[in-house]
Amino acid sequence: MSKNHKNIHIVAGLIFAVVAVLHAFRIVIGFQVVFGSVSIPMWASWIGVVVGVSLSYLFFKSMND
């Protein structure tokens, strides 16, 4: 894997890790997210944590292949 690809994988992995941490933070403090008149349910953040951690892990893992 070229150095450019490794850098892209590092950045993408970090972005997904930050997204997962922000979702986890929302769960812990109970922050409500509302867009217009639609309230985003808390279970959506659980999905965000799982997806964010999974994608972050896959990007960092594929960097070593």
User: Cα-flanking dihedrals φ and ψ of residue 39, to 5°?
Assistant: -95, 125
Q: Give the global pTM.
A: 0.85
Task: Give the domain ranges of the chain.
Answer: 3-63
Residue closest to 41 by CA, chosen among 55, 25, 30: 30
Angstrom distances, CA of residue 32 to CA of 19, 28, 38 = 16, 11, 11
pLDDT (tens digit per residue) in 6-47? 899 999 999 999 999 999 999 999 999 999 999 999 999 999
Distance CA 62, CA 17 (A): 15
